[in-house]
Structure 1
Amino acid sequence: MIRKPVHVAMYSGGASSVYVAYHMLKTYGRENSLLFFANTLWEHEDSYRFMHEVADYLDMEITYRVDGRTPEQVIYDYEFIGNSRLVKCADELKVRQIIIFLEELRDEHDLEPILYFGTGSQEQQMVENLKEFFADFLFEPVETRFPLISTILEEIDIKQIIEKEWGIKLPIMYKLGFSHTNCGGRCVRGGFQYYAQLFQTWPEIYREQERMEEEFRGNFNKNISILKRDEGPLTLREYRDELEQNGLQRYLSFDDNTVPCVCK
């Protein structure tokens, strides 16, 4: 069966994803395009503002999907807290919602989805993982495209284009120094630099993550943590003690290759 193609931007509160959506729309037109957003319920309110202002600029509606659980609830459901290498929250709250949506497009609307990600060449491992996952998707592969690698010149300043040419303020998390906008600063894939930035910017949210980790460790009697050092656990409470004793600056300069979530 030959289905009509539909171009689907994996839309989020990140600058890369919205610029890829813009590029997709210019190439294929609004009538052949969709913006897809899987809501984790943890996003910063300014990220929602940004997504909606960009959608208005593009004259497009956002297709929302929501599991209904927060990442913390997923962590308890699977008794696994997650880290930069492996998470269940993204699998459940983002990837699973994408799968359900793709099945709807094919089975209910006779459409063949082509997915667009705002992932760049600096995240090559994520690109390969996404290609492999959707190539083996159920019984039929789903085509994935990465315009920041294949089409768009990476020399362009996407953030400046959004602010200067589109007239839309970037999400506040960029302004505050975060490398991405996932989950309002509570991303369990964040590393040392990310959590140092969180502690400096929003210490109350850091302590929320610390509370979640401590309660999880106690409830399940597991010696695991979000951060790792020398292949062993380093709790957020222990890391906070280091930050308070040694000063934040040395940790804010770490390049620990924080891994963004699937939609970026």
Structure 2
Amino acid sequence: MTERTPTAADGHSEHFAHLSLTAGGGPSATPRPAGTLHVVQFSGGIGSWATAMRVAEEHGTDNLILLAADTKAEDPDLWRFVADAGAHLGVNPVIVADGRTPWQVFADQRFVGNSRIAPCSVHLKQKPCRRWLTKNADPERTVLYVGIDWNEQRRVPAIERGWSPWTVRFPMCEPPYLSKDQMLEWATAVGLTPPRLYQQGFTHNFSPRFGDVSASSTKATSSIHPLSLLVALGLTAMMRMARGVVLRTPAAGRAASSA
């Protein structure tokens, strides 16, 4: 596993909705009590950014950690936004990585991810972050923050179980409730350029370079390059054959069921 810090661009300081930052990048809120580590799962999405802003408002930035996982498949503009957001808060993001791409994980696991099971998320995001937390964040003195919003509150119990023994909080599930569009407007208002994938119709700031056919993006499949889709479907077929799954055409399936 590797760990690095990105090069950050200069941020801007304006007031919007919840947080006012000083010209030097420090929070206007009273710093949180010494000894508590506040770790934001910083995916590079607008929800995790808004979460970091609310945490900084309440607790300051002295013990604020922006923990990001590099899957080697993100849109390059995601890392531009991570660096800019970190500079705006005055915090250098901590970036961890397994070192593999999603396709290497699929090959190693002999399984291609989908909307219900995402091995790339487990191996490329959760495990590297958990290793960092285990080494650097005492559960007794750490609060972990996840950037889901009020539309995703059903996920809270599973996320809390998954990140045990750390205490987990969900600032964007609390009032005042914001939509993604409002979060994007907030980022613009404080001088940041929102991630470009939102402008292209994605609902999440993540898009593997080989075409995203796993759980990570909600962009329409028709937007994927045909060659990328062909490779993905071919890999799926090979994995199924390796696992002993018999593949049949729709016609063959109908014939078998009517026999």
Q: 1:43 to 1:190 in 2, by over 3 A?
A: closer
Q: Which runs of 5 or more structure 1 residues have no equivalent in the other structure?
A: 225-231, 235-264
| 3-state SS of 1:9 partner | strand
* Residue from 183, 194, 199 that aligns with 2:207: 183
| 3-state SS of 1:183 partner | coil
Give 1:37 shift: 0.2
Q: Deviations over 1:68-106 (max 9, x none)?
A: 000111111111112111111100111101210111124
1:140-179 equivalence runs, <5 A:
141-154=165-178, 157-163=182-188, 165-179=189-203
Number of positions where the alignment pairs a residue of Structure 1 with one of Structure 2: 211
Give 1:162 shift: 0.6
The whole-number CA distance in structure 1 between the counterparts of 2:118 and 2:71 is 13
Identity fraction in percent: 25
Q: For the Cα contact (< 8 Å) 1:9–1:115, is it kept in 2?
A: yes
Q: For the Cα contact (< 8 Å) 1:6–1:34, is it kept in 2?
A: yes
Q: 1:102 to 1:151 in 2, by over 3 A?
A: farther
Moved more, 88-97 or 124-133: 124-133
Q: 1:98 to 1:233 in 2, by over 3 A?
A: farther
Q: Which consecutive segments of 4 or more residues in structure 1 shift more than 6 A?
A: none
1:1-264 equivalence runs, <5 A:
4-106=35-137, 112-134=141-163, 137=164, 141-154=165-178, 157-163=182-188, 165-184=189-208, 186=212, 188-189=214-215, 194-196=219-221, 199-200=222-223, 203-204=224-225, 207-218=227-238, 220-221=240-241
The whole-number CA distance in structure 1 between the counterparts of 2:172 and 2:137 is 27
Q: For the Cα contact (< 8 Å) 1:39–1:93, is it kept in 2?
A: yes
Q: Deviations over 1:240-260 (max 9, x none)?
A: xxxxxxxxxxxxxxxxxxxxx
Which structure is higher in helix share? 1
Q: For the Cα contact (< 8 Å) 1:223–1:233, is it kept in 2?
A: no
| 3-state SS of 1:4 partner | coil
The whole-number CA distance in structure 1 between the counterparts of 2:238 and 2:213 is 21
Tell me the TM-score normalized by structure 2: 0.73
Give 1:23 shift: 1.2
Q: 1:213 to 1:222 in 2, by over 3 A?
A: farther
The whole-number CA distance in structure 2 between the counterparts of 1:57 and 1:147 is 19
The one-letter code of the counterpart of 2:126 is: V
Q: For the Cα contact (< 8 Å) 1:40–1:183, is it kept in 2?
A: no
The one-letter code of the counterpart of 2:190 is: W
Q: For the Cα contact (< 8 Å) 1:6–1:111, is it kept in 2?
A: no
Give 1:167 shift: 1.8
The whole-number CA distance in structure 1 between the counterparts of 2:97 and 2:89 is 23
Q: For the Cα contact (< 8 Å) 1:11–1:37, is it kept in 2?
A: yes
Give 1:222 shift: 5.8
Q: For the Cα contact (< 8 Å) 2:150–2:177, is it kept in 1?
A: no
The one-letter code of the counterpart of 1:132 is: R
Q: For the Cα contact (< 8 Å) 1:105–1:113, is it kept in 2?
A: no
Q: 1:187 to 1:21 in 2, by over 3 A?
A: farther
The one-letter code of the counterpart of 1:181 is: N
Q: Deviations over 1:15-45 (max 9, x none)?
A: 1111111111121111121100011010001
The one-letter code of the counterpart of 2:157 is: E
The whole-number CA distance in structure 2 between the counterparts of 1:17 and 1:210 is 33
Structure whose CA Rg is larger: 2
The whole-number CA distance in structure 2 between the counterparts of 1:215 and 1:80 is 9
Give 1:67 shift: 0.4
Q: For the Cα contact (< 8 Å) 1:40–1:66, is it kept in 2?
A: yes
